[in-house]
Each structure stands twice: as structure tokens, then as C-alpha cells.
């Protein structure tokens, strides 16, 4: 492309690529490679934050390790495929190893636990809590050997904590090991034996969960990292996967496209269920997510189900702006999501594709009542204008929704046990196909984003993957030619938007992976080139953002994003099948 895209600018905020993800499958925290916890929502993924320096460098709150000058990161890794993170920090001639985790298991307490190896030099642990998105100051008081924070949290430490101003400070002398636990409940005072047991039980519980998927083949490490991200961001109670653990990380640095992604999207269901089902193992994780969708997707405001929901199936709150500076001064910072009442045809189509995958693999018709309700809605409403896959601000005839309706109705009709119903769904599928053929091509013969307009979106790369058309059909050849010419730079691809200038954004990584998945069907070697370009945007822990600057690989948007990780698994499994490599199903 001739247009030069955005580049990196210096900032004091934690670098997104430097963030490691912690989770107990209830809530999440983000920690830097130098051991500073800069984001933590206690108790639940979408709960008000207690630590939010990620969104306000001055008063957002963090839990830092104050080390001597010259300390540098020296590598980190997850222990196994779960959420126990080990970071090494070089301090002078020695090293400090920090093991961070959120105790994971039914009988373990909720909170963030830190175990620190023998100190090569003295250091301090400093907790600056900022409850409720820093909307109030933390009340601190001594509570026996612990410090009570805001009446709701307790800091237990191996060394005496002291309250200094609005901070809790712990001094760790040279040569001593240490541990600390930021708890969501008052506990009998823990000791070394206790925290060691929490760590061991957490590792065992993660091992039991992660043994369910056993993919071996090309890009094995990337698939393992992506499966880890999906699991870390899946709620333990309802098995619902949130889109991301963060809110308001900007899609455009310094801009206003800052959204709250700590919710569960029906749109994501097809790819997440597919990833969890196709990556080896017994497929129970994918079935569990479909069960959540089916259990919670109740009719609402004339829709057969809301487009997204909270992890307990509730309605996300209205958008509310917070008085925070914003990551890299990007405002507004907000919680809630205003797209909650939108009609998104693709959301229902994706649920039907997920159901079809489960039905074909397991020979069942589980949750048929909900599947039937969504299919009936698509049968009656596929021709309606909606807000599209990118949740635009105005209803239009977005083509992807019609394509998904056509293929989803065709597939799910095969599972109906009522001939008249199956015939009606197939007739609607044929009508949707005919509508696309008549209304969805531009002058070049490419599939457009909105009927009657010329723009082409990367979503169209999925049309052959969904089975709507052949990958080498004239329409797809024209579509890919337009994407290459207008939406690609250095093998990374942009999405097309109707309401905003997508050129302001970084490359859209899920869409880029869809293009790679398309090329698996025609030229696997080319798919590898695109896949490698996406992996160059991953962190050292294999975590992927929503978007990235193609020149600097600067991550953009909420992080990490499960939609991207699910798309990556889909590409790799298809690639393994195409190349006859590995043991992918």
C-alpha cells in the first residue's frame, strides 16, 4: 500500500507486549516482566478494578517490586500450559525469580499470589490500591499481621507490612525469600507451607484441565499459547469465554475507539467452540461453551438472544465514562458496552455453525430448542438490515450476515427432524444465496462489505471457509485481489468500516488470520507467510492483541483477545490437515 500507517511513540505506560496474563478463571490480572501488577479486577472479569495503572499512570494503582537501579528482565515463562507465570529479573550479579499466579481450584482462595526467590539485593514490595477504577481512595488499616484494604481485600506477606501514606510497603532484606498474597477475603494467616501448597495445587489443577487438548503438529507452541489464552479467559462456573480481560486499550493511540471487551460475544462462539473442539482432546470444552450460550441466550427486546452478555448471562451495563487519563492518553476510558441491544445476524449464524460442528462430531442434537429458535429467526429475518459484524452505528445490508445466514441454515437444516421445517430453512438459505449473488458484488466482481457500496472487508475471506463458495471462484479471486491492493501491508490486513476510517486503525489480526485460512485452501505456503506475520506481533508469551501496527508490530486494542487466538488455532488445524502433518483431527 502507498499509505504509511501509524508508528510507535514513546510513553510511560506499561507496554502492552510486556504484559503477562494471570487468571483463576474467575478474574484476571496483568503483570509486567519486571513484576508490576498493573491491572486487576478482583472476583470477576468485569468487576471494578483494584489496580489500573494500565489506564492511568498517575493514580490507577499497581503492585510493584521496587528494585535497585539497573534491574533488567531476563526471561519469563508459564509453567506448563496453565496460568502460573515465572519471571526472572537480573539484579546486579544476581537474579530474582518471581512466581505469580492466582490460586486455581475449587477449595483455594481468590486473589493474586507472589513467591519471590532469595533476594540478590534488598528491595521493596509496594502496593498502591485504587478501588473501583480509582474512583475512591483505598482505606488502609492494620488487621493483625495483615493490612486490610478498602474493607474488602487483605494483604498477607512473609515480612511485616507497613502503611506509608496511601501505600502498603514491605521491605525484603538481601538474602531472604518472600511471598505475598492479595486476598479477596479474610483468611487465617497463611505461611510458607500454605502458599507452597496453593502453588502446587494450582499447577495440578491446570494440568488436569489442559490435558483435554492434545494438538501436535506445525506451530505447536503457538497453538498451546492460544489454548492457554482461551482457557485463562474462560469463566470456571459457566464456561463462558470473554473477548478480552481489559477495557479501553485503544485501537487508535490517542483516539476515542476504546471499548470494554470483558464480555461474552455470540459472534465469537463459532470460532471459540471450533478452536476448543478441533485442537485435539475430547471436545468437552467446546461443548461447555455452547452449553453456556444455549443456557443464557434468552429472547430480549425482540431478538432471539442478545449479541453479547456478561459471564453469568446478564446484560452488560450501559457505557459509562471513567475519569482516568487513558492508556497513552487515549480517552474516553469506559466500562459497559453500548452495542448490547444491536441486531447482529452474524452472531446467530456463528452459534449455528458451532452447533453444527458439535452435532457432526458427537452425533447429538444438544440444545436443539435454542438452535431451532435462532434458525427460525434467521429464516424470517435474514433479509433485514443489521449492525454488522463490526457493530457499526447504523443499520445497513451487511453482506457477511446474509452469507452466514445462508450457510448456517443450510447446515442446520440437515439436523432437523421435521421435513417441513428443514425445507423452509433450505428455501431461506437459497433465497439468501440468490440475494448475495444479485446484490453483493461490485464492478470488479468482488464481494462487498455493504450491498450497494464498493468497499471490501476481510470477513469475505471466510466465505469459502464457511462453504459459501469455492476458494477459486471468480468472485473470490476478485475479492482477494481487492484485499491485497487496498487492505494489506507486509502480509497484515485491515478491516473495512462503514462508519469510520479503518485506515486509522492498525492491522486487524483476526481478519489477517482469516485470509491465511483462505490461502490454506489454495496455497498453504502462502498461508504460512501470513501466519508468520501475525506471530511476529505476539508477545514473548505468545499472547496476541486485537490489532497491530504492521511496521513496528506495536500492539493495539484490548489484550489479549480470544477472537484472535481462536482464529489462529483454526488456521493451524486447517494447515496441518492440508499438509498432512501432525495429528490434528
Strand partners, 162: 169
**pLDDT single digits (tens) 145-154:** 999 999 999 9
245: nearest Cα among 386, 493, 38: 38
| E strands in 224-368 | 264-265, 308-309, 320-322, 333-335
* Distance separating alpha carbons of residues 519 and 524, to the nearest angstrom: 6
Q: How many CB atoms lie within 10 A of CB 32?
A: 21
**pLDDT single digits (tens) 355-401:** 999 999 999 999 999 999 999 999 999 999 999 999 999 999 999 99
Residue 67 is given by DSSP the state P
**pLDDT single digits (tens) 461-495:** 999 999 999 999 999 999 999 999 999 999 999 99
Residue 500 pLDDT: 82
Task: Give me the mean pLDDT over the 249-272 stretch.
Answer: 93
With 50 as the cut, is the pLDDT of residue 5 above it? no
Contacts of 536 (CB under 8 A, 6+ apart): 553
How far, rounded to the nearest angstrom, does the alpha carbon of residue 99 sit from its chain's CA centroid?
Answer: 23
How far, rounded to the nearest angstrom, does the alpha carbon of residue 510 sit from its chain's CA centroid?
Answer: 11
pLDDT band at 6 (very low <50, low <70, confident <90, very high): very low
Residue 4 pLDDT: 30
**Percent residues over pLDDT 90 in the chain:** 90
Q: Is the CB of residue 513 less than 8 Å from the CB of residue 531?
A: yes
Strand partners, 303: 300
The arrangement of strands across the sheet holding 72-78 comes to 72-78, 85-91, 94-101, 111-116, 178-183, 153-157, 146-149, 140-143
Q: Is the CB of residue 84 less than 8 Å from the CB of residue 99?
A: yes
Q: What is the mean pLDDT of the chain?
A: 94
Q: Is the peptide bond before 183 cis (omega within 30 degrees of 0)?
A: no
pLDDT band at 297 (very low <50, low <70, confident <90, very high): confident
With 60 as the cut, is the pLDDT of residue 332 above it? yes
Whole-Å CA distances, 247 to 49, 238, 244, 300 = 10, 21, 8, 25
Residue 581 pLDDT: 67
Strand partners, 128: 62
Per-residue burial over 358-370, b if 16 or more Cβ lie within 10 Å, else e, is: bbeeeeebebbeb
Contacts of 290 (CB under 8 A, 6+ apart): 269, 273, 351, 354, 355, 358, 366, 367
With 50 as the cut, is the pLDDT of residue 584 above it? no
Confidence (pTM) = 0.95
Q: How many CB atoms lie within 10 A of CB 504?
A: 15
Task: Give me the mean pLDDT over the 328-356 stretch.
Answer: 94
**pLDDT single digits (tens) 195-212:** 999 999 999 999 999 987
Full DSSP string of 352-406? HHHHHHHHHHH---TTHHHHHHHHHHHHHHTTS-B-TTTT-SS-B-BHHHHHHHH
Task: Give me the mean pLDDT over the 431-451 stretch.
Answer: 98
With 50 as the cut, is the pLDDT of residue 8 above it? no
List the single range of 11-20, 182-191, 246-255, 558-567 with lowest mean pLDDT.
11-20
252: nearest Cα among 509, 467, 503: 503
Question: What domains are defined for the chain?
Answer: 23-187 (no CATH), 214-579 (1.50.10.10)
Q: Is the CB of residue 29 less than 8 Å from the CB of residue 39?
A: yes
Residue 504 pLDDT: 83
How far, rounded to the nearest angstrom, does the alpha carbon of residue 315 sit from its chain's CA centroid?
Answer: 19
Contacts of 396 (CB under 8 A, 6+ apart): 385, 386, 388, 450, 451, 498
Cell digits for 320? 459509562
Strand partners, 168: 127, 163
Residue 84 pLDDT: 98
For the chain, helix (H) and strand (E) counts, in that order, are 14, 24
Amino acid at each position: 500500500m502507498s499509505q504509511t500507517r501509524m508508528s510507535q511513540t514513546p510513553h510511560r505506560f506499561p507496554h502492552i507486549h510486556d504484559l503477562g496474563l494471570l487468571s483463576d478463571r474467575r478474574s484476571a490480572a496483568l503483570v509486567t516482566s519486571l513484576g508490576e501488577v498493573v491491572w486487576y479486577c478482583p472476583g470477576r472479569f468485569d468487576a471494578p478494578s483494584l489496580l489500573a495503572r494500565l489506564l492511568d499512570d498517575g493514580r490507577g494503582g499497581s503492585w510493584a517490586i521496587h528494585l535497585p537501579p539497573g534491574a533488567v528482565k531476563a526471561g519469563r515463562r508459564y509453567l506448563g500450559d496453565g496460568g502460573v507465570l515465572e519471571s526472572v529479573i537480573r539484579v546486579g550479579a544476581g537474579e530474582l525469580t518471581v512466581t505469580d499466579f492466582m490460586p486455581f481450584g475449587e477449595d483455594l482462595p481468590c486473589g493474586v499470589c507472589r513467591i519471590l526467590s532469595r533476594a540478590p539485593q534488598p528491595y521493596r514490595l509496594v502496593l498502591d490500591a485504587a478501588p473501583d477504577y480509582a474512583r475512591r481512595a483505598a482505606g488502609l488499616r492494620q488487621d493483625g499481621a495483615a493490612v486490610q484494604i478498602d474493607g474488602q481485600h487483605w494483604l498477607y506477606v512473609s515480612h511485616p507490612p507497613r502503611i506509608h501514606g496511601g501505600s502498603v510497603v514491605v521491605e525484603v532484606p538481601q538474602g531472604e525469600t518472600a511471598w505475598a498474597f492479595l486476598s479477596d477475603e479474610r483468611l487465617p494467616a497463611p505461611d510458607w507451607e500454605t502458599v507452597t501448597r496453593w502453588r502446587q495445587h494450582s499447577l495440578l489443577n491446570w494440568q488436569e484441565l489442559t490435558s483435554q487438548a492434545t494438538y501436535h503438529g506445525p506451530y505447536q507452541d503457538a497453538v498451546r499459547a492460544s489454548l492457554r489464552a482461551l482457557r485463562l479467559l474462560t469463566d470456571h462456573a459457566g464456561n463462558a469465554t470473554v473477548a478480552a480481560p481489559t477495557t479501553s486499550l485503544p485501537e487508535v493511540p490517542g483516539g476515542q475507539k476504546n471499548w470494554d471487551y470483558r464480555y461474552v460475544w455470540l459472534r465469537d462462539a463459532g470460532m471459540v467452540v471450533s478452536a476448543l473442539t478441533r485442537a485435539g482432546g475430547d471436545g468437552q470444552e467446546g461443548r461447555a461453551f455452547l452449553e453456556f450460550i444455549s443456557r443464557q441466550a434468552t429472547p430480549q427486546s425482540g431478538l432471539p438472544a442478545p449479541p453479547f452478555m456478561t459471564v453469568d448471562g446478564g446484560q452488560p451495563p450501559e457505557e459509562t465514562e471513567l475519569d482516568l487519563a487513558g492508556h497513552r492518553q487515549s480517552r474516553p476510558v469506559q466500562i459497559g458496552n453500548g452495542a448490547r441491544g444491536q441486531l447482529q445476524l452474524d452472531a446467530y449464524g456463528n452459534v449455528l455453525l458451532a452447533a453444527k460442528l458439535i452435532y457432526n462430531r458427537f452425533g447429538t442434537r444438544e440444545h436443539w430448542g435454542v438452535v431451532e429458535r435462532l434458525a427460525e429467526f434467521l429464516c424470517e429475518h435474514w433479509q433485514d438490515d443489521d449492525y454488522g459484524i463490526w457493530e457499526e452505528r447504523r443499520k445497513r445490508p451487511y453482506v457477511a450476515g446474509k452469507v452466514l445466514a445462508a450457510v448456517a441454515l443450510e447446515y442446520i437444516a440437515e439436523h432437523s427432524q421435521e421435513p417441513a421445517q428443514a425445507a423452509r430453512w433450505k428455501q431461506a438459505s437459497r433465497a439468501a444465496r440468490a440475494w448475495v449473488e444479485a446484490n453483493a458484488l461490485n464492478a470488479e466482481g468482488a464481494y462487498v462489505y455493504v450491498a450497494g457500496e464498493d468497499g471490501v472487508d476481510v470477513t469475505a475471506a471466510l466465505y469459502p471457509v464457511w462453504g459459501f463458495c469455492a476458494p477459486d471462484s471468480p468472485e473470490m479471486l476478485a475479492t482477494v485481489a481487492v484485499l491485497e491492493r487496498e487492505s494489506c501491508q507486509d502480509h497484515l490486513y485491515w478491516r473495512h468500516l462503514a462508519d469510520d476510517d479503518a485506515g486509522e486503525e492498525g492491522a486487524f489480526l483476526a481478519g489477517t488470520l482469516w485470509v491465511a485460512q483462505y490461502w490454506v485452501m489454495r496455497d498453504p505456503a502462502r498461508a504460512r507467510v501470513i501466519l508468520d506475520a501475525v506471530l511476529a506481533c505476539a508477545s514473548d508469551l505468545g499472547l496476541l492483541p486485537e490489532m497491530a501496527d504492521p511496521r513496528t508490530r506495536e500492539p493495539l486494542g484490548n489484550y489479549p483477545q480470544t477472537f484472535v487466538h481462536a482464529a489462529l488455532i483454526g488456521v493451524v488445524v486447517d494447515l496441518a490437515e492440508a499438509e498432512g502433518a501432525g495429528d490434528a483431527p
